[in-house]
C-alpha cells in the first residue's frame, strides 16, 4: 500500500494539508479517516445518493467517486467548513424551522447541494428546487421539509434584495 | 391504567407544541456521531467473504498462507463456543432454523457471510477477502415462494419435511356466505421484495473494555437491550458482561431492529484478538444481503351484497420469509400478522385466512415500516375497489358502507382487534373533499390533451401500534413487550435528565420526550437532556419498533415526572413552611399562594443543603424510575385515508402523481411538526413500494440490483408535495391520548396509487394488481388486455 502512496497537497476547510495517500483512496475516506472530518457521510459510494457531497474549489462534488490523489492543489470544503458561512447559517436555520432533517445522515450533503441551488437558482420555484436537488436522496423526510427550507431561504433572500 | 389528561393546547413547549428539535444543531453541523465516525486506538476493520450463490454446500475454504490469522470461519467461532441464532416461535408447528453467524457447511442465500477478514483498513480487509477461495457445490435453488411450497421443491433446511416455517389458519365460517353472496370478486395480488435502505447502513464497533470488564458493542441498532440479550445467548456471555450502545443512527425502518450475524462476529473477533474492530455495511452489502422485506402473495376473494356491503373475506397468503428466522421477530411474525390484520378497518362478520411463512434461498425477512400492513392494505383496498366496481358505486361510498362507524367505538373486529377510538368514515369524507374528487371526475370525462389517463384512488387503514403483551406472548417469540420504564432525575442545578431504553434514529425523541416532561414539570426544554439507546445507562426496553416509543416510553416519562412532581411539591411546601394542601407545581416552581420556590432551589436543597429537608422526605430523592403500560393491552389504533390523483401515460406506462392528500388521526400529537415529518417520510417510502422498489431475482436466486442505479428509491422529483389533514381523537387508554404514528405513512400509498391507476385504466379494461407498478408492468398489463381482446 504505502509503496504506491502519493503525496498530495491541498487545502481543507482553509487549512493547508500535506498527505501521503494510497491512489485508490477516495476523497470521502481521506476526509473522514485521515482528517477526521466525519461530517461527510458515505451513503452509497456509487456516486448516486449525494450524502458525501462536498465543495471542490467551490463546486459541489461527490467525494465518494473523487480520488484523493486527484485533489492535489485543490481547495476542499466540507460541512464542517461551512460553520461560519452566512448562507449555510440561513439554511441551517431554515432546515430546523421546516423539519428538513430527521436522522440527519443525508443532511450534510443536502446542505452543500442546497447552498449551491440557492446561489445558482435565486428564481427557483418548488418544481425547480426539486429538479435541482434531485441528485441527493433522503429516506426519512419525504423531501417536503427540505423543499420548504430551501424555499424559505430563497424567498427571504429575494425579499431582502428587493 | 395511566392517568388520562387532555393536554395538548399547543401553547408553550409542552404536549401539542410545534417546537424545533433539540437534535438539529449537531446534525446540521456534521457533528453527529454515527458508528462509522468512531475510531478507537488500535482499531481493525472487518470485511466479509459472502456467498456468491444462493444455495450450496461448502466443500472447502482455502485461506492463503500469508493471511492465516486474519481470516476466521464458523469453525473458529464454533470452537470458541459461539452458538447459532435461534429465533423460535411458540406457535404450534413452527419449524426451527439455526443461523450460524458465518455459514456452517452450507449457504442459503446470496450475500450470506462465509468468512470474516481482519486488517488495518477496510480496503486491505477487502483485499484479503478477495484472496479467500471458497469451493461451493451448488444445489437447486428456491427463488420463488410459490414454487418452494410445491412437492419435490429443493429443501432449504435438509431436515425439514417442506419449506414452510409456519402455516396459520384464522377464522373459517365462510362456506355459507361464499355460496350465497350476491357479489363475489377475486384477485391475485403480489408485492415485491424490497430493501429498507436507511441512508446509513448498519455498522458496529466492538471492543473489550478492560477496566469495566465488559464487551462494549456500539452498533447501529433500534433495540440495544434486545441485541444484548441475543448476543448473550449466542456468545454464552452473561448479560452483565455486555454493554450495547446505539450512537446516532441514520435511519432504521426495521432493518436495524434485529440481532445481526455481523454483530456476533464483530463481538467475538474483538474478544479473540483483544482489539477494537469495526464493520460498516456498504451499500452493495445492504442491497444484496439485506433485500429482506415486504414480499407477499395473495389469492383473495371478497363477498358482498348488492350495495357493496362486505359479507366476508377469504384469502390464502404467502410471505417469502427467506432462509432463516431472524432474532427477535422470527420468520413467522409477518405472515401471522397478515392473518390477524387483513380485515383492516372494516366491520364484517365472516372471515377465513390461511397464511404460509415460506422458507426460500433469499435473505431472512425483517419487519419493515408498517410490517405486514402495507401488503395487507394493498390487498384489502384493491378488494374494496373491486367490490365497488362490481356493484357500480364510487369506491369511497363502499368504504363508508363498511368502515367501523364512530358510534361503535371502541370496537372489537372479526379477529378480536380492539379499535380504541376515532371516526374512520369521516377520514374518507374529508379525503374526498380535500382531493376535490368531483373536479377530477369532470376532467376524466373531458379527457386530456396529451392522451394521458387521469385516475383517483383511495385507501383507508387502521394501524395497531404500541403492541401489548398478550399478542407477543401468543406468538411466543424471543421478545415480549411488558411495562416500559423511564428514569427521570433532577440535576443539582434544577435541570432534568431522562433515561429511556428505546432509541431515537430520526423520530425526534430528544425533543418530544422533553416536551412530555416539560408538560408535567415545567422545566424548560433546553434544561432537559434525554439519554437513550445504551444498555449501560438506561432501563430495559424492547426498543423502537411498532410505533411504540411515544405511547410506551413517553407514557413512562410522564409517569416518572409525575412522581418527581409530587416529591418536588412536598419539599417545596416544607421550604415555604406551608402544608402540602393547596401547594402546586406550576411553571417550574412550587407555589403556595404568593410564595414560590423554584425547582432549582429545591434541587439545591436536596443535593447541597439536605439539612433543610423535612424529616419525612421521600428518601428516593429527585430520581425516579417508573414503569408504564397503557390502559389497554391491545395498543392504540391510529388510522388514515390516503387519496391520490395521478395521470397514467398508456403509451409509455409512466405514472405522474398530481395530488396527494393524507387525512390521518394520531390522537393527541406531542409535536405536530414531527408527526407531519413521519407522515411525509412514510408516504415517500410508500411511493417507492408502489412505483419503483423491487429487488429482482433470477431463477438461480441471484439478486439483480446492487447499486442505487438499479434499485430505485424515490427522490425529490418522484415524491409529491403531500398535503396532510389532521383529525385528533385521543386514545382513551394512553397518557395525553397519544397514539403511535411512526409507520402509518408507509402503509397506504401502494394501495391508493394502485386504485388510482386502475381508475385511470378503467376505460381500457385493464387492471394491475402487483407492486411495484413500473412502466413495464403497466404496459404489460395493457398489452395483455389488448391481446386477450
The pLDDT of residue B1 is above 60: no
CA distance B760 to B647: 7
Q: Which of A103, A114, A115, A143 to mutate to test the interface with B (most CBs of B within 10 A)?
A: A103
Residues of chain A with CATH 1.10.150.120: 84-161
Q: Are residues B399 and B463 in the same domain?
A: yes
Residues of chain A with CATH 3.10.20.30: 2-81
Interface confidence: ipTM more than 0.95: yes
Q: How confident is the model at residue B3 (pLDDT cuts 50, 70, 90)?
A: very low
Is B149 a member of any domain?
A: no
Cβ–Cβ below 8 Å for B715 and A134: yes
Q: What are phi and psi of B738, to 5 degrees?
A: -70, 155
The pLDDT of residue B448 is above 50: yes
Q: Do A12 and A21 contact (CB within 8 A), yes or no? A: no
Q: Which residues of chain B does A99 touch, with a Cβ-Cβ cutoff of 8 Å?
A: 21, 673-674, 676-677
Out of B572, B596, B628, a domain closes at B628
Distances (CA, A) of B474 to B417, B466, B478, B684: 14, 16, 11, 33
Q: What are phi and psi of A71, to 5 degrees?
A: -105, 15
Q: Are residues B782 and B643 in the same domain?
A: yes
pLDDT of residue B252: 96
Looking at residue B692, the DSSP 8-state letter turns out to be: I
pLDDT in tens, B192-243: 999 999 999 999 999 999 999 999 999 999 999 999 999 999 999 999 999 9
Q: Which CATH number do you get for residue B118? A: 3.90.1170.50
Does B786 reach chain A within 8 Å, measured CB to CB?
Answer: no
Instruction: Say whether domain A2-81 belongs to CATH 3.10.20.30.
Output: yes
* Residue whose grid cell is 492543489: A73
pLDDT in tens, B153-171: 999 999 999 999 999 999 9
Q: Are residues B580 and B643 in the same domain?
A: no
Q: Are residues B511 and B564 in the same domain?
A: yes
Tell me the mean pLDDT in the region B54-69.
Answer: 97
Which ranges of B482-621 does DSSP label H, i.e. alpha helix? Answer: 509-521, 549-575, 599-608
Which ranges of B246-314 does DSSP label H, i.e. alpha helix? Answer: 261-273, 283-289
Helix or strand (DSSP H, E) at B204: strand B203-209
Q: How confident is the model at residue B172 (pLDDT cuts 50, 70, 90)?
A: confident
Out of B628, B643, B661, a domain closes at B628
DSSP strand pairing (B723-727 vs B655-665):
parallel
Question: Cα distance from B716 to chain A (closest Cα, Å)?
Answer: 5
Q: Are residues B133 and B48 in the same domain?
A: yes
Looking at residue B365, the DSSP 8-state letter turns out to be: P
Question: Cα distance from A77 to chain B (closest Cα, Å)?
Answer: 12
Q: Which has the higher per-residue pLDDT, B467 or B64?
A: B64
Is B9 a member of any domain?
A: no
Interface of A with B in 2-21 (CB under 8 A): none
Q: Are residues B622 and B653 in the same domain?
A: no
Nearest partner of B552 among B527, B516, B508, B519, judged by Cα: B516
Decide: residue B491, CB within 10 A, 0-12 exposed, 13-18 middle, 19+ buried. Answer: middle
Is B305 a member of any domain?
A: no
pLDDT of residue A2: 56
Q: Which residues of chain B does A24 touch, with a Cβ-Cβ cutoff of 8 Å?
A: 123
The pLDDT of residue B5 is above 50: no
The radius of gyration of chain A's CA atoms, rounded to the nearest angstrom, is: 16
Q: Are residues B581 and B718 in the same domain?
A: no
The structural domain count of chain B equals 3
Nearest partner of B36 among A128, A43, A91, judged by Cα: A43
Out of B239, B267, B289, a domain closes at B289
To the nearest 10°, the Cα dihedral for B155, B156, B161, B166?
A: -130
Domain A84-161, CATH homologous superfamily name and number: [2Fe-2S]-binding domain (1.10.150.120)
Q: What range does the domain containing B658 cover?
A: 369-467+633-788
To the nearest 10°, the Cα dihedral for B510, B514, B515, B516?
A: 110
pLDDT in tens, A74-107: 999 999 999 999 999 999 999 999 999 999 999 9
Q: Are residues B622 and B639 in the same domain?
A: no
Write B282-286 long-range contacts (CB < 8 A, 24+). B282/A45, B282/B201, B283/A43, B283/A44, B283/A45, B283/A46, B283/A49, B283/B201, B283/B707, B283/B708, B284/B706, B284/B707, B285/B48, B285/B50, B285/B111, B285/B201, B286/B195, B286/B197, B286/B201, B286/B202, B286/B255
pTM above 0.90, yes or no: yes
Q: Are residues B98 and B220 in the same domain?
A: yes
Looking at residue B607, the DSSP 8-state letter turns out to be: H
Helix or strand (DSSP H, E) at B336: helix B333-341
Does A44 reach chain B within 8 Å, measured CB to CB?
Answer: yes
The pLDDT of residue B7 is above 50: no
Lowest mean pLDDT among B9-23, B252-266, B480-494, B614-628: B9-23
Helix or strand (DSSP H, E) at B324: none
Amino acid at each position: 500500500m504505502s509503496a504506491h502512496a502519493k503525496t498530495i497537497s491541498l487545502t481543507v476547510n482553509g487549512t493547508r494539508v500535506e498527505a501521503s495517500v494510497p491512489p485508490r483512496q477516495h476523497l470521502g475516506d481521506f476526509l473522514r479517516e485521515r482528517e477526521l472530518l466525519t461530517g461527510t457521510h458515505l451513503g452509497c459510494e456509487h456516486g448516486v445518493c449525494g450524502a458525501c457531497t462536498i465543495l471542490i474549489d467551490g463546486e459541489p462534488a461527490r467525494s465518494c467517486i473523487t480520488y484523493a490523489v486527484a485533489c492535489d492543489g485543490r481547495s476542499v470544503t466540507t460541512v464542517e467548513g461551512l460553520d461560519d458561512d452566512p448562507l449555510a447559517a440561513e439554511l441551517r436555520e431554515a432546515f430546523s424551522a421546516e423539519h428538513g432533517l430527521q436522522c440527519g445522515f443525508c443532511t450534510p450533503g443536502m446542505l452543500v447541494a442546497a447552498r449551491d441551488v440557492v446561489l445558482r437558482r435565486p428564481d427557483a420555484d418548488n418544481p425547480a428546487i426539486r429538479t435541482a436537488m434531485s441528485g441527493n436522496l433522503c429516506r426519512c423526510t419525504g423531501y417536503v421539509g427540505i423543499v420548504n427550507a430551501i424555499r424559505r431561504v430563497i424567498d427571504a433572500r429575494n425579499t431582502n434584495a428587493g | 391504567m395511566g392517568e388520562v389528561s387532555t393536554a395538548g393546547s399547543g401553547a408553550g413547549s409542552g404536549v401539542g407544541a410545534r417546537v424545533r428539535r433539540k437534535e438539529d444543531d449537531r446534525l446540521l453541523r456534521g457533528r453527529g456521531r454515527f458508528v462509522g465516525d468512531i475510531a478507537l486506538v488500535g482499531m481493525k476493520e472487518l470485511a466479509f467473504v459472502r456467498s456468491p450463490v444462493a444455495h450450496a454446500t461448502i466443500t472447502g475454504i482455502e485461506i492463503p498462507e500469508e493471511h492465516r490469522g486474519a481470516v476466521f470461519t464458523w469453525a473458529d467461532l464454533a470452537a470458541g463456543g459461539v452458538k447459532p441464532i435461534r429465533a423460535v416461535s411458540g406457535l404450534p408447528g413452527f419449524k426451527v432454523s439455526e443461523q450460524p453467524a458465518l455459514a456452517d457447511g452450507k449457504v442459503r442465500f446470496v450475500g450470506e457471510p462465509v468468512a470474516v477478514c481482519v486488517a488495518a483498513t477496510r480496503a486491505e480487509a477487502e483485499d484479503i477477502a478477495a484472496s479467500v477461495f471458497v469451493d461451493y457445490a451448488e444445489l437447486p435453488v428456491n427463488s420463488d415462494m410459490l414454487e418452494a411450497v410445491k412437492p419435490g421443491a429443493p429443501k432449504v433446511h435438509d431436515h425439514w419435511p417442506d419449506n414452510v416455517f409456519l402455516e396459520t389458519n384464522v377464522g373459517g365460517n365462510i362456506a355459507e356466505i361464499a355460496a350465497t353472496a350476491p357479489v363475489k370478486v377475486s384477485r391475485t395480488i403480489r408485492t415485491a421484495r424490497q430493501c429498507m435502505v436507511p441512508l446509513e447502513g448498519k455498522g458496529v464497533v466492538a471492543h473489550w473494555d478492560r477496566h469495566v470488564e465488559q464487551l462494549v458493542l456500539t452498533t447501529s441498532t433500534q433495540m440495544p437491550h434486545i441485541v444484548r440479550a441475543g448476543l448473550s445467548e449466542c456468545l454464552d456471555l452473561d448479560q452483565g458482561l455486555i454493554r450495547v450502545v446505539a450512537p446516532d443512527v441514520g435511519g432504521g425502518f426495521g432493518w436495524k431492529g434485529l440481532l445481526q450475524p455481523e454483530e456476533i462476529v464483530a463481538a467475538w473477533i474483538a474478544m479473540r484478538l483483544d482489539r477494537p474492530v469495526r464493520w460498516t455495511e456498504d451499500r452493495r452489502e445492504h442491497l444484496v444481503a439485506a433485500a429482506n422485506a415486504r414480499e407477499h402473495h395473495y389469492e383473495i376473494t371478497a363477498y358482498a351484497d348488492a350495495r357493496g356491503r362486505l359479507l366476508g373475506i377469504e384469502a390464502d397468503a404467502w410471505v417469502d420469509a427467506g432462509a432463516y428466522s431472524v432474532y427477535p421477530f422470527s420468520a413467522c411474525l409477518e405472515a401471522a400478522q397478515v392473518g390477524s390484520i387483513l380485515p383492516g378497518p372494516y366491520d364484517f362478520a365472516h372471515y377465513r385466512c390461511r397464511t404460509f411463512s415460506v422458507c426460500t434461498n433469499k435473505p431472512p425477512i425483517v419487519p419493515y415500516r408498517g410490517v405486514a400492513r402495507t401488503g395487507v392494505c394493498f390487498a384489502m383496498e384493491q378488494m374494496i375497489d373491486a367490490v365497488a366496481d362490481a356493484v357500480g358505486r364510487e369506491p369511497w361510498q363502499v368504504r363508508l358502507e363498511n368502515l367501523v362507524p364512530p358510534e361503535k367505538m371502541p370496537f372489537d373486529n372479526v379477529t378480536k382487534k380492539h379499535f380504541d377510538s376515532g371516526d374512520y368514515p369521516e377520514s374518507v369524507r374529508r379525503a374526498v373533499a380535500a382531493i376535490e374528487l368531483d373536479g377530477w371526475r369532470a376532467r376524466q370525462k373531458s379527457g386530456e390533451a396529451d392522451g394521458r389517463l387521469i385516475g383517483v384512488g383511495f385507501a383507508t387503514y387502521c394501524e395497531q401500534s404500541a403492541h401489548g403483551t398478550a399478542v407477543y406472548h401468543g406468538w411466543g417469540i424471543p421478545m415480549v413487550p411488558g411495562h416500559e420504564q423511564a428514569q427521570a432525575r433532577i440535576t443539582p442545578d434544577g435541570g432534568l435528565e431522562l433515561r429511556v431504553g428505546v432509541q431515537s434514529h430520526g423520530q425526534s425523541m430528544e425533543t418530544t420526550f422533553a416536551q412530555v416532561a416539560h408538560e408535567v414539570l415545567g422545566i424548560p426544554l433546553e434544561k432537559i437532556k434525554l439519554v437513550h439507546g445504551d444498555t449501560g445507562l438506561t432501563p430495559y426496553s424492547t426498543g423502537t419498533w411498532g410505533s411504540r416509543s411515544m405511547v410506551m416510553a413517553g407514557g413512562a416519562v410522564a409517569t416518572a415526572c409525575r412522581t418527581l412532581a409530587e416529591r418536588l411539591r412536598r419539599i417545596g411546601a416544607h421550604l415555604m413552611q406551608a402544608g402540602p394542601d393547596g401547594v402546586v407545581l406550576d411553571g417550574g416552581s412550587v407555589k403556595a399562594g404568593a410564595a414560590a420556590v423554584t425547582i432549582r432551589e429545591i434541587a439545591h436543597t436536596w443535593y447541597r443543603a439536605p439539612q433543610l429537608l423535612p424529616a419525612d422526605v421521600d428518601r428516593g430523592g429527585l430520581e425516579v424510575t417508573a414503569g408504564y403500560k397503557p390502559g389497554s393491552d391491545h395498543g392504540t389504533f391510529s388510522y388514515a385515508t390516503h387519496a391520490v390523483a395521478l395521470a397514467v401515460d398508456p403509451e409509455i406506462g409512466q405514472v405522474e402523481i398530481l395530488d396527494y392528500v393524507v387525512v390521518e388521526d394520531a390522537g393527541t400529537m406531542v409535536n405536530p411538526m414531527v408527526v407531519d415529518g413521519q407522515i411525509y417520510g412514510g408516504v415517500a417510502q410508500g411511493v417507492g413500494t408502489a412505483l419503483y422498489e423491487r429487488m429482482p431475482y433470477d431463477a438461480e436466486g441471484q439478486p439483480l440490483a446492487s447499486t442505487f442505479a438499479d434499485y430505485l428509491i424515490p427522490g425529490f422529483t418522484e415524491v409529491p408535495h403531500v398535503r396532510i389533514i389532521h383529525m385528533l381523537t385521543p386514545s382513551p387508554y394512553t397518557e395525553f391520548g397519544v397514539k403511535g404514528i411512526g409507520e402509518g405513512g408507509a402503509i397506504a400509498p401502494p394501495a391508493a396509487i394502485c386504485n388510482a391507476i386502475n381508475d385511470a385504466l378503467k376505460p381500457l379494461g385493464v387492471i394491475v394488481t402487483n407492486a411495484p407498478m413500473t412502466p413495464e408492468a403497466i404496459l404489460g398489463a395493457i398489452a395483455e388486455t389488448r391481446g386477450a381482446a
